[in-house]
Structures are given as C-alpha cells and as structure tokens.
Chain A
Amino acid sequence: MDIQSLAKDIPSQGEQSLEGIEFINNAEQYLTFVLGNEQFAIDILCVEEIRNWERPTQIPNSPNYVKGVINMRGIIVPIIDLRMKFGIGQCTYTVTTVVVVLTIEVEHKSKVIGFVVDAVSDVLNAEADDIKKAPAFGGSIPPEFITGLVNQDTNVVTLLTPEALYKIEKHQIDGCNQ
C-alpha cells in the first residue's frame, strides 16, 4: 500500500489548490494510526511503506521494544514496537498488526526504521493553528516525542516527531550472565 500516492488523491481542505500544484495550503498531512485505543499521527512525508507484520530476526541484547530487523528489498530495517515503547495496549501480533516504515533524517543521514502499530487508520489534514500544545503532565509518552495534539471529531490525535522516535537509547548488557 503506497500511502503517499493515496494521500495525493485526497482533496486538501482549506484554500483552493492552484492548478497542477499539489498541497498549496497551510495544512500538513499526517498518517494516523492506532496504538491500543489511542490515535497517533506522523508526518506523512516520512512514511516509506506500510507492511504486514512478519517475525523479525532478533538483535542480541536489545531493549524489549526493539523487535529485531527485517529485510526490506535488501535493506536491513530495525523494527520497533511503539506499543511496548510507550506502554500502550497489548503487544499481540495479529493479522491486522502492521509495520509503518519511516525514513527519518538524523544528523544528515537518513535512517529507515519500521514501527509496529495496531492499525493504520486515516490521513489527517492539520493546519498549524489546529495543533495544540500537549499538556505537560501525565501520559506514558515522554513529552519530547510529542509535537502536539489535534482534535478530530470527538477524538484527540497525538502528533509524534519522527526524529524523537529515532532516539533509542543504547542498551546496556545487564545480568545476562546470571
């Protein structure tokens, strides 16, 4: 499924598009996905691919939310389970479990990383004004990972920053010799 081309077919709200020029409005597009029963969104331009869950190859002594690596057309792609990372929902792997593969620019290098989510739901248009600051208290997600919140009907969608998602703290080997 190629979300980017899908996204282009969706008429953008707000200002009128000028002929032949795409996305001439203030709205950014976000891919929304579900973790447990919460809605999250990520900048759609970062999305490389959406894949079905497949069992990855384990990386020795990695944190539990690093599920391992897969082969995506010859590229070795690490798979991070966001549900585990944020402690949201059940970490079961079913037919609807999907991996959102993102390209993230880190220090002038692009990294390709897959994130396990429960489901991908929609494409969201949000203008800068629509994005509210996240409250500084509560929640299992560290505030540095959150760009802001967007109201969508009755739901609240949490916008995540791809760069922050990348910051997987280097894991120390602990107690594996016991």
Chain B
Amino acid sequence: MSIDLAQFLPTFLEESYEGLEIMETGLLNLQSSEDDSIHSIFRAAHSIKGGAGTFGFNQVTEFTHLVETLLDEMRDGRREILKSDIEILLQSVDCIRLLIDADHNKVVCEDESISNVEGLLNESLKSSSTDTQPQNDNKSEKTQSATDAQSWLIDFTPQPHLVQTGNDPLFLFNALADLGELEIVCNTSELPAFSDVEPKELYLSWQIKLTSSDATEDDIREVFEWVEDECTLEITLLTNDATPNVQEDEAVNNETQEQDPEVQSTQPESEQSSKQELAEPLSPNTITTDTNVLTTKPQSAIVGKDKASPAKAKPDVGSIRVGVDKVDMLINLVGELVITQSMLSELGNDFDLSKVEKLTSGLDQLLQNTKELQESVMRIRMLPISFAFNRFPRLIHDLSIKTGKQIELVIKGEQTELDKTVMEQIGDPLVHLVRNAADHGIESTEVRLANGKSAKGTISLNAYHVGGSIVIEVNDDGGGINREAVLNKAIEKGIVEPNSSLTDAQVFDLLFEPGFSTASEVTDISGRGVGMDVVKKNIQSLGGRIQVESEPGKGSCFKVNLPLTLAILDGQLVRVGTEVYIIPLITIVESLQAKAELINRVSGNMVLYRLREDNVPVLPIYQLFNLEAQCTEIENALLVVVEFDGQKVGLMVDDLLAQQQVVIKSLQDNYQQVDGISGATILGDGSVAMILDIPGMITMALKQAQVAQKATVNNNVEVV
C-alpha cells in the first residue's frame, strides 16, 4: 500500500516554524536549568527532527540532531546551561529555519552560517564531560546477504512475563509468515500442572522452521525486535537440502500453533533476573534503522509536489488557525439568519398591508444579523498582534549584544487583534523601528549613568485599538531626538531651506525623508538610513500613518496607526454629477460649505481655500475625472477636506450622502489599475461605486499642476 504523505507537508512546515518560535522564546527565557522551558525547547527540536526525517528533509534532520543532543544533555542535567551554549542554540534556530527552506525547495543550503554553527555545536558537544555515545553508527551490519531462497531454524523461548508487555507470540508468527513458509513446533514441556498455572504467564517455547524465504537473519531478528530482551532467540541458517534439526517432540502436530499461548503454563522465573536482562545493553543489531529506505519514498512524493509550485523564497502557508469560539459564533449567527429568513419568507406567503410593521421589524432583524455576520467573518481573519511581536525578544537580545547596551523589552497589548494581511506587512517596518530605537534611541550605559538614568534602557511595544484602527507604539526611554541635529542635517542635505521655521512634528517628519540619516556613524544595525522612508511608505500603503513624539533626555515614541482590516472600509459617500464615490473616512478632516471670501486664486489655475491658518488646495473631482458635474463654481461648492501625509486637500463634490462600511473589491481583477481609484464596492442597490484613492488623487493633481506650469513657462518663452 502506498500512502502519499505530501499532503501533510504544510502541517509539518507550519508546525516546524511554530516549533522554532517556541525554541527561540524558550532559549531567551532560559536562565537556569531549573527552568521548565528546556523541556519544551527539547520537545520542539525533537518534533522538528522527527518530522524532517519523514519528509526527507535530510539537512534539517542532520543539523537538528546535533541541537537535540546538546539539548538532551542540558535537559537531563548532564550539562550546565551556559550563556555561550544558548547563543549557539539561538543561532542554530536560524540555521534550522534556513535549512527547512532549503530542503523544502530541494536545494543544498550553502549559507556559511550553517557550517559555522555546526562547528560550534560539535565543539560544544565534544567538550561535554559526559560520554555521549555516537548515536549515528548503530546501523546494523548485514550478516547475510540474501540471494536465494533459504531456510532458517528459529528457537524461540519467551520469558513467562512476555505477554504482560502486550506482546503475543501468535502475532509474531503472523509477521514471520510474511517472510516465507512456516512450520511451527510448540514445546509444552515446561507447562505446569493446571492448578499451578498463572494465567498471566507464558510457559511455552517454539521451534520454527522458515522455508522458501529470501529473508536475512536481520529480517528475522527484526520481527523479534521488541521481545529480544524477554526471550532466548537462536537463529540458524539451514542449507537448502538440510532437514530441520528437529527435536524429540517432532511429532507434535501443527495444531499446537493454533492454541492460544496465553493460557499455557509455568516456570516462574525470578523477577530480578528478568530485570537484569532488561538492563543489559542492547546489542547493536537489534536496532535496524533502515534510514535509506525510509526516507526515499516521501522524498519523491514531495518532489512531485514541488514541480507544481516552483521554489518559493518563503513558505507561504496560506491558512489561518481560527479559535473554536469564533467559529461557534459564526454558526450561531447563521442560525439566527436562517430563522429571520424563514420568518420573512413566511410573511411573504400571504402578505397584506396589515403586516407591514412585521415586515419592517423583520428587515431590521435581517440588517442586524447581516451586520453581525459580517463582523464575525472579518474577525476570523483577525489575529492577536503577538504574532508580529513575538520576534522582538530575540531581536532585542541580539541587538543588546551587538550594541553593548543593556536593553529591556516590555510588550503591552499583545492580544490586540488585527487582520492577518496587515499583520504580515507590518512586521518589517516594526523591526526597523525597534532596531532604530535600540541603535539611535537608547544611549550607551555610560551616558545613561552620567545622566542619572538606570543603566538598562527600555524599549516598549504597545498595541491598542482606537475606533476602527489599531495603534502600535514603539517607545524608548533614550535620549530623544535631537531637534537641532535633525534640522541641520536636513538643511545640509538640501531637504529643507535654511532659516525655515518648522514645528517639532515637522522636524521629526524629516526623519522619514528619503536618504536621511542622523547617525554620524553608520552601523550595521539600522543601516544607512535607507529604512525610515521605506517604513513610512509601507505603512502608508497599508492605509496607515506614522507619527513621532520625542522629548529630549526622556525618549521617543513612534506611533503607527493602521486600519484593522484591508477588506472593509468606513466610507463617506459623495456624489459628483451622476456618479457616487466613496471617500475613506479615515482621510477626512472635515466637510464644509465653501465661503467666497476664503477662496484665493494663485499662479493661474491653482485655487486655495483658507482653512484657519492652512491654505488648502482645492481639487475639483469633476475636473480630475472628466465628469459632468452639477456644481462647477467653487464659490458655492461643498468641500471635503482630506489629509494624506500631512498634505490637506479640499475635494469639491456636489453632494454629501451617507456614511457606511463598504467591502473593497478590486478593479484590477477584471480591468486594470485606475489612477485616483483604489477599488470599487457594491452599494445597497446593487450598483457599483468607486472608492477614491486620496494619495493617488493628490499625485495626479500635482502632475497636472506641473504640466500646467510647464505650459505656462513655455508660453512665456514664446512671448519673449
């Protein structure tokens, strides 16, 4: 029977990555050998190795074996848990991760860290005071290579307690029967008188002749593998023509083998002697790990699967683990929906006007059900942010070694939930912020002490919900951002004009300008300052924003604000001409009726609207989108002021309609990317409405302004 194990590969991968995380977390917490976590670390390594062997992940198996051996010694207390070993093990976790990827993609991992860490592990294992027997070379030597059918004589004398371990000679003979033809002779000479029979003991022995078999002695021994310590087993090869060396009770007929061995009788052996035998070291050839045979099959199965999906850089396990409570909640809601539906359809069977009230309440109920159902379905995609946070203890650990600073990590609100997709994309920006905090934020120990602070710096990660979004804070209690240094650097780089007066927030925003870096020395931790602008871009592409607060001497706080999900959006419906558009509510600052006296026209076609101290450029949607609008005069127009990236823009619309949650649908699926539009949605009446892409619209407007400006310049040249 061939069984395809490839279907379990995703489970194995998921489980292995989880195991690696458990190892990592455990290792970071591992302070003393009394700590319980060494056991969970060992178990994780053990499971990875076990699974890896099954799937033919040989690089993983080999490497993890070293790790496991080291962990085993620690676990048993045979080895002191040294800081240096923990470091090696942490590096090993990274290596195993690489090797899993490599084995999954069927390539040999050539990363030099592997051989380095392997060397360290071996060294550490060698230095071990205890004798760790090499466990690899217990491969049995084939005593007999089978060529022709042969005959074997097997003398099998079990100890009386054999059946108490769950073994049963009958099944052993059944297994032997698979190797060839059997002739079994039972020896009942040790059977005691019936009154002396102990029902739980076995008193029989057998002589078995195995003929027309191509089995080797090892094959036979393997059948008796589990009982070898509880029996005397003699196996002799008979020449093909030899008659079996049958003993005097040869005449006992074959019926004997049909008897149930359990009810046979006595010769109680002392318990002690049996225990002694148990404690005896096993002879090496009892252990037949036919590794080669075992691994080839699953491997070929995986190769076939890999062809279908070519090598991926990262195994993207596209599944979610959902808590049973969430699923139960859904089932309940669907139940309610069904009830509402049947109530409504019954109502429709013989409807008259007297039942309008019932209908209205039924529809209200339907609305409620639908809303709850939608929220619950969305919650399925929500995971606690701890999934994104759990890599930071390790990161901080590594960073404090690299920087030589003492850093403590505090995590708050790790149960705060957000959408899986958002989570996947926010990981890297957060890593960058944390690196930055460790590298630039936290001062060196000497500086901290000199400033009267505790030697240990603190970086705290905090997540919480605010309305429809999640806020993630990266705080440090370091020296804060040096306003002057940032400003000078920006001036030096030509990012801002000298003498420009900027607020603190504006100055801190300069950190996110491309090519900005304040660290006078470039370190390998936060790199060359290429990151912060990318961080901001990533966050913005998720529909979020980032703010910085900082106090000199006290520390800084980077606040990331993200939508909880990318599938649903709170929108303001607006009308322009005959078309309905949706403006993401999160971008809206305010909506107002334009007042003529606050309108200014500058440089030709640019219209600015004075909103308190800001001059907000006005963007008529009908112009941008080439539409017939009802209102083309800015003087009476409705303006929806939106903000993106600190830039406010007044969108000119004909009418403000409802506010509602909309499900985002892609336009690209069947059409293509459209400038100024981030997607579409289906409204209550079944019609489609476009969702405005505010950053995109601002970019469009800027481009048009530039084109217009160039045109003006050209005109001037012609005039001259």
Contacts and interface: CB of A to CB of B under 8 A. Distances in A.
A58 B670 contact: no
A71 B687 contact: yes
Interface stretch (A10-18, A29-37, A147-155, A170-178): A170-178
Contact size range, A: 20 to 34
A70 B667 CA distance: 11
A82 to B, nearest CB: 16
A75 interface: yes
Given A75-B670, A76-B688, A69 B627 contact: no
Interface in A106-129: 111-113
B671 A78 contact: yes
Contact of B627 (A56, A58, A71, A170): A58
A59 B671 contact: yes
Interface stretch (B328-336, B411-419, B700-708): B700-708
Given A71-B688, A177-B704, A61 B626 contact: yes
B689 interface: yes
Interface string B614-653: 0000000001111100000000000000000000000000
A90 B641 CA distance: 42
Contact of A57 (B623, B669, B680): B680
A170 B671 CA distance: 10
B643 to A, nearest CB: 21
Contacts of A170: 672
A57 B688 contact: yes
A96 interface: no
Contact of A176 (B623, B666, B680): B623
Given A74-B682, A76-B665, A173-B700, A60 B674 contact: yes
B625 A60 contact: yes
Contacts of B579: 57-58
Interface string A70-102: 110011111000000000000000000000000
B676 interface: yes
B2 interface: no
A81 to B, nearest CB: 14
Nearest to A114: B670
A154 B355 CA distance: 62
A114 to B, nearest CB: 9
Interface string B666-692: 110111101111001010001111100
Given A76-B666, A177-B704, A57 B676 contact: no
Contacts of A60: 624-627, 674-677, 690
Contacts of B671: 59, 69, 76, 78, 111, 113
A8 to B, nearest CB: 27
Contacts of B715: none
Contacts of A74: 665, 682
A62 interface: yes
Contacts of B500: none
Contacts of B674: 59-62
A6 to B, nearest CB: 25
Given A60-B674, A111-B669, A177-B708, A71 B623 contact: no
A173 B675 contact: yes
A133 to B, nearest CB: 32
A75 B666 CA distance: 9
A177 B707 contact: yes
A92 B287 CA distance: 85
A56 B688 contact: yes
Contacts, number: 78
Nearest to B672: A170
A76 B625 contact: no
A72 to B, nearest CB: 10
Given A57-B688, A176-B624, A176-B626, A112 B670 contact: yes
- Which residue among A58, A70, A112 has the maximum number of chain B CB atoms within 10 Å of its CB? A58
Contacts of A68: 688
Interface string A51-69: 0000011111110000011
A76 B708 CA distance: 34
Contacts of B580: 57
A176 B680 CA distance: 22
B605 interface: yes
A56 B578 CA distance: 11
A143 to B, nearest CB: 24
Nearest to A104: B670
B680 A76 contact: yes
Contact of B667 (A58, A69, A168, A176): A69
A60 B672 CA distance: 12
A62 B580 CA distance: 17
B627 A59 contact: no
Contacts of A176: 623-626, 704
Contact of A76 (B605, B669, B686): B669
Nearest to A70: B688
Given A61-B626, A71-B687, A176-B626, A78 B670 contact: yes
Nearest to A78: B671
Given A69-B688, A76-B682, 19 more contacts: A57-B680, A57-B690, A58-B627, A60-B624, A60-B625, A60-B626, A60-B675, A69-B671, A70-B688, A71-B687, A76-B670, A76-B671, A111-B670, A168-B672, A170-B672, A176-B623, A176-B625, A177-B605, A177-B624
12 contacts: A57-B687, A60-B626, A61-B676, A68-B688, A69-B671, A74-B682, A76-B688, A77-B670, A78-B670, A176-B624, A176-B704, A177-B704
Interface of A: 56-62, 68-71, 74-78, 111-113, 168, 170, 173, 176-177
